[in-house]
Structure 1
Amino acid sequence: MTIHISSSLYTSGPWYNSRDSWNARKFSPKSTTAMPLKITQLGAAVREKTSTLTSRLPAIVATTLSASLLVTGSVVAARWLGWLQGPELAAYDHYMRRRPVAPLDDRLLVVGVDETDIQTRQEFPIRDRTLADVLTALVANDPLAIGVDIARDIPQGDGRAELASVMAKNEQIISGCQMSGGDNPGVPPAPGAPPERTAFADFPKDPDGIVRRSILVSVPGPSEVPLPVQHLCNDTNPENQMVSLHFSMALAYLSSQGIEATAGEDGEIQLGQATLHRLGQQAAGYRRTQAYDYQVLMNYQGAEKTIRVVSLSDVLKGAVKPDWIRGKVVLIGYTSAVAKDLLATPFSAAGDGGDLMPGVEIHAQGTSQLISAALGERPLMWYWPWSVEVLWILGWAIAGGAIAYTNHRIWLFIVLEQALLVGLYLICFVAFIEGGWLPLIPAVFAVLGSAFGVALLSRADEGGYTQAIYEQMREKVKGMVQPKIEIDQAKREREVSEITDSGYFQDLVSRAKTIREQRKQSLSKSTLEFEKTDGSPE
């Protein structure tokens, strides 16, 4: 069946009349001129607005830039004086606790003398014979190096001769000692350890007691108390350049890989693919570090499970897999709290005494970071030069000020400033994961301070005072002398009157009033043109 549709449906009936009427209205001569008129008026309004914005551009730039520079200068000054060191170190700890934990480094093994060992053997400190036995058991499994982080300046029980013999004849063993300085006369190495296999086990502590740095090379300092015995670790001769225990362990491992430490042109140590940048007095968030020796920042792998730890009893019973020892770096020391060798780290809840880390494990972490950096596996901690950090702070101050100037709705202002701070936090966090310590806290103060300052200055700009001052300074930059205000209470009222009656003040008020009226007239004109456009007949 074929359906025929008559063409009269398109030329008759209500549909045709309605469409024809609509088309006539839409394309009438009167309405064809309305659209170009609207576009012309809109273009004029846009040009007017652009002209106004261009005329105000110097004031806008002056407002944002002046506030940003002022805030940046204040933040940099406070940082230089050390007022921000505490918050910046807290930010360092915060990021260290929250970044991903590094995988287990099976190149190292820690033999810990824990509470169970002490209670089971009824030994504290452990006897010389016990230490000699555990060292002998470790040597039998052919490790690359053994670091002893146990003080042995005083004989403990029997076996002193056996311990001295083991220390002397095994070249893999390096004995730790404590350097002299202040009220500490120093602690000598274990008996039998030659000078070339002696290393200091000291760690520098920050004012809050947290270990965030490690010493690589140093010289014992002068002791304020009489020296009971002269030894290598209290010899203050400048030529007595000693190496730390964890640096010695790292050098022993890297030497087996054909990597040796060399001195760079700038005097810094080059270790494989890594340059060990020396920490200065003013570095990153630190001010007055007192780092007169060769120090670097600690790049911790994590709070736990990054270094394999076994007990002394396990080694003596032969319960440790030989592969965990053979060809590895082994460190032995106390992990029990009774030994008082637990130190606060960034993982210690801001140094309140919780989650302390044994010193021998910190040595293992320091050894691991140096090996990983030398092999190009994991970077050392780095930071920018002072000048770059100042530009970083200024950039964030300008960003915070720009948001404050361009957003007058309070809710939008708050949302955008919070988004900016979140972005700052994430940028610093990503950089920290890669070993970069960027100035987070100074940048936060710069964003907030600049936003507040620009908000105040923009109020003055809305009243015309910013632009009036700009024009007046441009015209009268030569010879303009502002009245001096003395602090004398009796003259204050008279001087205020002089200022308000001065030509400078009257000219400023007049200029501000003129600028406000010009802006008001421009806004009224634009509004009127749009109202005429919207009210045009169709």
Structure 2
Amino acid sequence: MENKFPCASWLPVICQNPTTVPTTWQELCGNFDDINFGGQVPIKGKIAIPKSKLWTVLLSTFIVAVSTIGLRYLGVFEKIELQTFDQILRLRPKEDPDPRLIIVEITEKDIQSRQETRLGLKSISDSTLATLLKQLQKYQPRIIGIDIYRDFADPPNKLQTIKLSTENSKENVVVTCKSRDSKYDSQGVKPPKEVPVERQGFADAIEDPDGIVRRQIMMMAQEPSSTCTTPYSLSLQLAARYLSYENIQPRFNEDYIQFGSKVFKRLKAGRSGGYQQKVDLGGNQILVNYRNTDYQRVSLEDILSNKVAPDLFKDKVVIIGVTANTVSDTWSTPYSTAQQDYQEIPGVFIQAQMVSQVLSAVLDKRPILWVLPWWGDILWIYGWSIVGSLIVWRVRSLSDKGCAIFVTVVILYGVCAIALLKQGLWIPFIPSAFGVVASSVVVIFIQNRRQFSTTSQSLVE
């Protein structure tokens, strides 16, 4: 070569494995968009990737995202989405008890120590409940909620001077009933007949398919044959009556309930957050924003024995309920699975959580749990699928691609956790993470296939 090209032997030599793709002048040009030497045709740098390659990535990502959204719509991710929702909620630090609520619990000891004549499966007799209400009224609570069914009156007792019907007639007493449901409960539980419907609230609880209570029904239309006719839940009745003393009146709408500036939007049937096709979201349902704490409580015996401070109940919401083990009124919460021994809590504590979340949101600006509209979830899943595929597309080595996928999923989880804990927004993590991983794997497959095809062609030439 020295005869034709003097000093050619002085030029640098590139030693390259014959199985690798030969380098090109465009790659050696680096990141320059346009290089013009002596008026020659401009040469594109690495940033100007051929459009066909980019469109291949975008098209494959679109197909993956649509498939992910379809699987989510069919309920494939529902169980794991709900479990992730619980796990993020458990990241919340311990909170202080709500000072506006106090629970009067009827313990197993209270039941066993009172051998009284009562009709039906009652924890305590009507006379004992009447005495309890009479005593509580002396402490001037703002509102009293009775989370105990009283569908049948006990036989008359002439020796009992305090009548339950008289105590139930007080304006700050709200009683409970249970809706009749032709599918789940054909009977229902009727309220005490002496209490008008304005002071009744249904205590129906709803479990998710995994047996955990994550939602509360604030309002619903009753079946015509139901003996429980109130459209309002017990928790809503108690919260609304408490807030009325603060001059905050509720506004009811088909899609939301509003207290002042706070709006509780209902979960839309069909597609709301992780709930898709298999969950009934009828009525006005919202997510329960559990407070990671216990509630102040006193026993029936302590009140009847005058062992409590008189100002303990003043201007508070008092909820009376049963916590005895022999009464099957226990429920699972997102915190049940985190305990060493799986533990359910009595229904009266669920009612307290539901009342507290309304009061805390309105008076303390505590976040209300909400979800994006269905199209917002679609854009979120598709957006993160695009992000994952583009990052992997730009990274060269396979190990770096794996690290990029892992870091992207971790960042996604952090964003979802911050949104839920700080703003109350439940955004889909599981389908988004699935979209990131699936779209990234597809891009890696496309790149490897193209590289293999180019290498094979070079060897043939």
- Per-residue deviation at 1:43? 11
- Say which structure is richer in helix: 1
Contact 1:167–1:192, Cα closer than 8 Å, also in 2:
no
Distance 1:362 1:118 in 2: 21
Select 2:99's aligned residue among 73, 95, 106: 106
Matched, 1:274 2:262: yes
Matched, 1:185 2:187: yes
Contact 1:152–1:191, Cα closer than 8 Å, also in 2:
no
Contact 1:63–1:458, Cα closer than 8 Å, also in 2:
no
Contact 2:126–2:164, Cα closer than 8 Å, also in 1:
no
Select 2:49's aligned residue among 52, 56, 59: 56
Partner of 1:250: 239
Matching residue's letter, 2:213: V
Matched, 1:153 2:143: no
- Name the SS of the counterpart of 1:336 in structure 2: coil
Contact 2:180–2:227, Cα closer than 8 Å, also in 1:
no
- Name the SS of the counterpart of 1:262 in structure 2: strand
Partner of 2:206: 204
Matching residue's letter, 1:45: C
What residue ranges of structure 2 are gaps of 5+ in the alignment? 1-24, 36-42, 117-121
Q: Residues 463, 138 of structure 1: CA spacing in aligned structure 2 closer, same or farther, 3 A cutoff? A: same
Which deviates further from its counterpart, 373-382 or 46-55? Answer: 46-55
Contact 2:27–2:45, Cα closer than 8 Å, also in 1:
no
Distance 1:436 1:101 in 2: 20
Q: Residues 191, 317 of structure 1: CA spacing in aligned structure 2 closer, same or farther, 3 A cutoff? A: farther
Partner of 2:447: 458
- Per-residue deviation at 1:278? 1.3
Partner of 1:141: 139
Contact 2:202–2:230, Cα closer than 8 Å, also in 1:
no
Matching residue's letter, 2:29: A
Q: Residues 45, 287 of structure 1: CA spacing in aligned structure 2 closer, same or farther, 3 A cutoff? A: closer
Distance 2:383 2:27 in 1: 35
- Name the SS of the counterpart of 1:101 in structure 2: coil
Q: Residues 196, 42 of structure 1: CA spacing in aligned structure 2 closer, same or farther, 3 A cutoff? A: closer
Pairwise mapping of residues 300-311 of structure 1 onto structure 2 (< 5 A)? 300-302=290-292, 304-305=293-294, 307-311=295-299
- Per-residue deviation at 1:122? 5.0
- Per-residue deviation at 1:121? 3.4
Distance 1:95 1:444 in 2: 15
Matched, 1:381 2:369: yes
Query: What per-residue deviation string (whole Å, max 9, x for no partner) do you get for residues 481-530 of structure 1?
Result: xxxxxxxxxxxxxxxxxxxxxxxxxxxx9xx94xx69xx9xxxxxxxxxx
Pairwise mapping of residues 359-370 of structure 1 onto structure 2 (< 5 A)? 359-370=347-358
Partner of 2:325: 337
Distance 2:230 2:453 in 1: 67
- Per-residue deviation at 1:83? 1.3
- Name the SS of the counterpart of 2:192 in structure 1: coil
Contact 2:29–2:45, Cα closer than 8 Å, also in 1:
no
Query: What per-residue deviation string (whole Å, max 9, x for no partner) do you get for residues 264-312 of structure 1?
Result: 6x7532112211101111101101332221111111112x42x212211
Contact 1:110–1:332, Cα closer than 8 Å, also in 2:
yes
Q: Residues 352, 286 of structure 1: CA spacing in aligned structure 2 closer, same or farther, 3 A cutoff? A: farther
- Name the SS of the counterpart of 1:176 in structure 2: strand
Distance 1:131 1:245 in 2: 18
Pairwise mapping of residues 207-356 of structure 1 onto structure 2 (< 5 A)? 207-221=209-223, 232-233=227-228, 240=229, 242-263=231-252, 268-281=256-269, 282-288=271-277, 289-302=279-292, 304-305=293-294, 307-349=295-337, 354-356=342-344
Taking structure 1 as the reference length, the TM-score comes to 0.71
> Identity of counterpart residues, as a percentage?
33
Distance 1:370 1:43 in 2: 61
Distance 1:432 1:221 in 2: 35
- Name the SS of the counterpart of 1:56 in structure 2: coil
Q: Residues 163, 179 of structure 1: CA spacing in aligned structure 2 closer, same or farther, 3 A cutoff? A: farther
Distance 2:261 2:252 in 1: 13
Select 1:70's aligned residue among 63, 81, 99: 63
Q: Residues 180, 267 of structure 1: CA spacing in aligned structure 2 closer, same or farther, 3 A cutoff? A: same
- Name the SS of the counterpart of 1:175 in structure 2: strand
RMSD (Å), alpha carbons: 3.0
Matching residue's letter, 1:252: R
- Name the SS of the counterpart of 1:98 in structure 2: coil
Matching residue's letter, 1:213: R
Distance 1:322 1:195 in 2: 31
Partner of 1:164: 164
Larger radius of gyration: 1
Distance 2:27 2:360 in 1: 64
Alignment coverage as a number of residue pairs: 417
Matching residue's letter, 2:101: L
Partner of 2:19: none
Partner of 1:194: 196
What residue ranges of structure 1 are gaps of 5+ in the alignment? 1-40, 224-230, 234-239, 466-508, 521-538
Query: What per-residue deviation string (whole Å, max 9, x for no partner) do you get for residues 211-264 of structure 1?
Result: 1111111223377xxxxxxx741xxxxxx5521000000001100000001146
- Per-residue deviation at 1:399? 2.1
Distance 2:276 2:201 in 1: 28
